[in-house]
Amino acid sequence: MTRFAMVIDTKTCIGCGDCVVACKTENKVPDGLNRDWIVEATQGRYPQLTTEFRSERCNHCSNATCVTLCPTGASHYWKGTNIVLVDPDMCTGCKACIAACPYDARLVMHPDGYVDKCTFCHHRVEEGLDPACVSSCPTRCMHFGSIDDPGSEVSRLLKTRNYKVLKPETGNEPNVYYLI
Amino acid sequence: MKEELFVTARSNALIDPGLHIWTWEVAMYLFLGGLTAGIMVFAAIMTLLRKDEEAPFAATKLALLAPIVLSLGMTTLFLDLEHKLFVFRFYTAFQVLSPMSWGAWILIVIYPVSILQILSTLRAGYPQASPYVDRFAIGKWLLDWSEAYRRPVAMAAIPFGIALGIYTGILLSAFSARPFWNSGVLGPLFLVSGLSTAAALVALVARKHSEKVLFARIDLTLIAAELALVALFIINLASGTEQQLLALDSIMSGPYTLVFWVLFVGVGLLIPLLLELLEIRGFVRRVAIVAPVLVLLGGYVLRQVMIDIGQESTWTRYDTQYNAELQERLHD
């Protein structure tokens, strides 16, 4: 499995929301639905407060429970990578994958009814481009690439910086990393 | 203090503010699926034990209800699908690790087994209806054949019935992302509940007094077993992870406490347990209707409560909605 990872630097993210707008524009996500979102996490007690911004989305897990539990094979890995996609022509809209995702990253496309989610912009990845959110980030806090290539930018960042993933204890092996 | 808020609105329908993807349709399907499982198993057991005289309804008439009840359940399940035209996709794949895929295929196998079960007892159970089948050569041949193989058919109905009943629980327990469901006890719990509701149905509908009493006795044992499984389920959650403890809170001190303890455990299990005990001891005779009705109600409430609490239980929480608790957490 070729593993693609997104590495997001929480030290330089300012929570502007450009990644959210870029995704909606690129993928024509309908009104009122979002494939990515920004979370502001504040800790401490005034005046000693620290704030972390996180751009969140599907974690394209290496052990994705949404793929395991899909009864029709509509949820699948794209071309031997960890990129998780949904084939609308195979999706019955049973919503098992929504319940199966510990990150609540899936959504029902209205009015069609099939399940949708972040695709890591695989149509752009195929052409050697970064996902729309990554390429539109004004602070360049988002990075994308193959984690299996030791020379890639994402590998280099994970070798030299402290990082975390969300809820690793789910066992899903998420592939969106946050530099801290 | 720790507070996590959405900066950009997510508000994805069915996910925010809390996951609420499944409603009564799925709960009703799980209930009717469990009931079908129980119907098939009891009809088969009564056949194998040669109880045609002692329990004529269960041995010769009950099997007819299985495909009817199951079809009703599959209808409500279909109502729940968001992408209905693609329902056939359940049958263009078999996903070995997905209990839902197993379920879809089990449902397909259940129908022929169940229809053979009906044919094998049609002449004995429904003498008014069987001539309509006997009139055709193929119908006569089918009745003769299935009657000749009545016992093997009954033996096949038991494992398929059990598979149907237990899968409805395994289906939910396989969701590792939903802490409330993530317990191996759920499979046996749903199976026993399904058997119990079927026993209650027989106790309710059967005419013969000996049969009513027999099934009240059977149901008594099953209710006791169900209570034990509920206890194990709670012990499992109470000794679990932080997420499981938070999920348990919803029935211990949260919004579902009343419906779980009063409606499911009290009205659905303890009261019928008591009533059936009294009935068997001969203290009361008039309550014969009340206990089975409550068991059937309890069976449905179990599924509804499980669906409601389970899907809300989660690994990921954001403090997006205004809540007064945030104010308090400033002082922690």
CB contact under 8 A, A99 and B178: yes
Q: Which of A15, A90, A170 shows the shortest C-beta gap to B89?
A: A90
* Structure-token pair, residue B250: 């919803």
Q: How far apart are CA B299 and CA B276, in angstroms?
A: 16
Which CATH architecture fits A4-179? 2-Layer Sandwich (3.30)
Q: Which residues contact B15 (CB under 8 A, 6 or more apart)?
A: A98, A104, A106, A107, B21
CB A65 within 8 A of CB A85: no
Mean pLDDT of A49-78: 96
Which chain A residues are Cβ-neighbours of B100 within 8 angstroms?
69, 71, 94, 96
Which chain A residues are Cβ-neighbours of B167 within 8 angstroms?
none
Percent of chain A with pLDDT over 70: 100
Q: What is the pLDDT of residue B328?
A: 75
Q: How far apart are CA B230 and CA B251, in angstroms?
A: 12
CB A162 within 8 A of CB A179: yes
Pairing of strands A75-77, A84-86: antiparallel
Q: Where are the domains of chain B?
A: 24-318
Indicate the average pLDDT of chain A: 95
Nearest Cα residue to B105 out of B118, B117, B93: B93
pLDDT tens for chain B, 332 residues: list them: 788 888 888 888 899 888 999 999 999 999 999 999 999 999 999 999 999 999 999 999 999 999 999 999 999 999 999 999 999 999 999 999 999 999 999 999 999 999 999 999 999 999 999 999 999 999 999 999 999 999 999 999 999 999 999 999 999 999 999 999 999 999 999 999 999 999 999 999 999 988 998 999 999 999 999 999 999 999 999 999 999 999 999 999 989 999 999 999 999 999 999 998 888 887 766 657 899 999 999 999 999 999 999 999 999 888 876 667 767 776 66
- Cα distances (angstroms) measured from residue B187 to each of B121, B173, B261: 30, 7, 20
Residue B36 one-letter amino acid: T
CB B253 within 8 A of CB B199: no
- E strand or H helix that includes residue A177: strand A176-179
Closest residue in B to A21 (Cα–Cα): B8
Q: Which of B5, B97, B100 shows the shortest C-beta gap to A94?
A: B100
- Residue whose pair of structure tokens reads 């996903």 in the numeric block: B95
In DSSP terms, which residues pair with B5 in a beta bridge? A40
- Of residues B331 and A93, more confidence is placed in A93
- Three-state secondary structure call for residue B220: helix
CB contact under 8 A, B14 and A73: no
Closest residue in B to A75 (Cα–Cα): B95
Q: What is the pLDDT of residue B168?
A: 95
For B90-93, which contacts have Cβ atoms below 8 Å and span 24 or more sequence positions? B90/A71, B90/A72, B90/A92, B92/A72, B92/A90, B93/A71, B93/A72, B93/A73, B93/A90
pTM for the model: 0.94
- Residue whose pair of structure tokens reads 């206890």 in the numeric block: B231
In DSSP terms, which residues pair with A2 in a beta bridge? A81
Which chain B residues are Cβ-neighbours of A106 within 8 angstroms?
15
Q: What is the pLDDT of residue B331?
A: 67
Which chain B residues are Cβ-neighbours of A114 within 8 angstroms?
82-83, 86
CB contact under 8 A, A92 and B5: no
For A125-175, what is each residue's pLDDT tens digit? 999 999 999 999 999 999 999 999 999 999 999 999 999 999 999 999 999
Which chain B residues are Cβ-neighbours of A40 within 8 angstroms?
4-7
Q: How far apart are CA A72 and CA B92, in angstroms?
A: 7
For A27-45, what is each residue's pLDDT tens digit? 999 988 999 999 999 998 8
**DSSP conformation class of A83:** -
- Residue whose pair of structure tokens reads 């499982």 in the numeric block: B37
In DSSP terms, which residues pair with A143 in a beta bridge? A7
Closest residue in A to B85 (Cα–Cα): A92
Give the number of beta-carbon pairs within 8 Å between A and B.
Answer: 166
- E strand or H helix that includes residue B68: helix B65-80
Helices (H) and strands (E) in chain A, counts: 6, 10
* Structure-token pair, residue A72: 């029709």
* Shortest alpha-carbon distance between residue A161 and chain B (Å): 23
ipTM of the complex as predicted: 0.92
Q: Which of B14, B87, B318 shows the shortest C-beta gap to A92?
A: B87
Which chain B residues are Cβ-neighbours of A20 within 8 angstroms?
8
∠ at Cα B310 (B309, B313), nearest 5°? 85
What is the rounded (10 degree) CA torsion for B107, B113, B117, B122? 90
Q: What is the pLDDT of residue A46?
A: 85
Q: Quick one: B24-318 is in which CATH superfamily?
A: Formate dehydrogenase/DMSO reductase domain (1.20.1630.10)
* Shortest alpha-carbon distance between residue A65 and chain B (Å): 8
